[in-house]
Every structure is written in structure tokens, then in C-alpha cells.
Amino acid sequence: MGKSLKSAQAILDCLRKTHWELFAAVGQIQDERRPNAEQLLRDVVRWLETDEHALAGGLVDKLTEAERRAIKLLTPPQPVSPVAVPQLDRTPVVVPEPVVPGPVVVPPPTDKSTSSSSTADPSPPVKLGWKQVGTETRQRLEHGEALQEARRLVQQLEKNPRLRLTIQWTLEEESP
């Protein structure tokens, strides 16, 4: 009985000291961290509903762990590269074109036998390099949508053999 009262006091102290505002803020997350935020909130609810003695480490340890996870989720991620802001809907997101160095201008070959006072070759300089002709970001496509998008890209590549495709992809699985 004495152990139960002592344990109850520790739990009450923990409940008073827990930073519940962290979990309220986690509940507001609407970006790619949303599945992890929802899992954290489900864990906290489950731990609060579970008998303290049935929890490995006890409720105090679980809530301390939950606070650490909440802080990690609420810490802004470091930007990796200038990409589109993820959206929850599946509408295309227009991404601003990245800054690409201008084309390389190669002057026509010079004939060393001519003097420097001769007139320049009237042919225009040759421009080398790649010009971006399209970009699009799609988020969380389902199987059929992904196939449709892939077919659309293949058709564009077949129409214009000078086109090249640069791919960066992420495969995600929805949390249970």
C-alpha cells in the first residue's frame, strides 16, 4: 500500500510537470511530419489509458520520452535543397526554376594565319548546355496516378529525343 501511494504521488508530480503544450503543438503539424505526430499522440493516449504498472518503465518514463519526441518533431527540419513545400492534397505544385548558370558561349575557332586586324567571323557563337523546359512536383501518388504520370513523361521523351529526364523520388508508406 505504501508503495502504491508513493507511486501515485510520483505520477501526479509527473502529470503536473509534463509540458502538455508540446502535445497541443504537435497536434497542429500539417506537413510531412504529420504521420509521426499522429503516432506520438496515439502513444501518449495509450500510455495514459494503460495501468501504470503494465507500462515498461512506467508512465513517468513514457511521458518523458514523449516530450523528447515532441520537441524533435517541433524542431524545424534543416532545409536540404530548394524544393516545393509538401502539401497534403494531390494538386501539382509549381516549383520555381532553380538558378542554372547560363549557357557556355564557345567562340568560333580563330585562324592564326590571319592578322588581328581582320574582321571577325560572322557566324554566331555556339551555345552549349541544358535548358529546363518543365518541372513539376507531385506528392503521395497512388499506384494508378504514378503510372499515369510515368506514361505522360515517357510520351514527352518519345516526342522529343533531345529531352532528358532528371528524377528524384521518395517512396512513402502510410503509418498504421
- Kindly write down the DSSP assignment for every residue of 72-118, as one continuous string: HHHSPPPP-SS-PPP-SS-S-BPPPPPP-PPPEEEPPPPPTTS-TTS
Query: Please, which residues bridge with residue 126 across strands?
Result: 106
- DSSP, collapsed to helix, strand or coil, labels residue 67 as helix
Sign of CA pseudo-dihedral 138, 144, 150, 152: negative
Q: Please report, in tens digits, the pLDDT of each residue of the chain (176 residues total).
A: 455 556 678 888 888 998 999 999 999 998 888 999 999 999 999 888 887 777 777 888 888 899 999 999 998 767 666 656 555 666 665 666 655 555 555 555 555 544 444 454 555 555 567 777 887 777 778 888 888 888 988 998 899 888 888 887 778 787 78
pTM of full prediction above 0.75: no
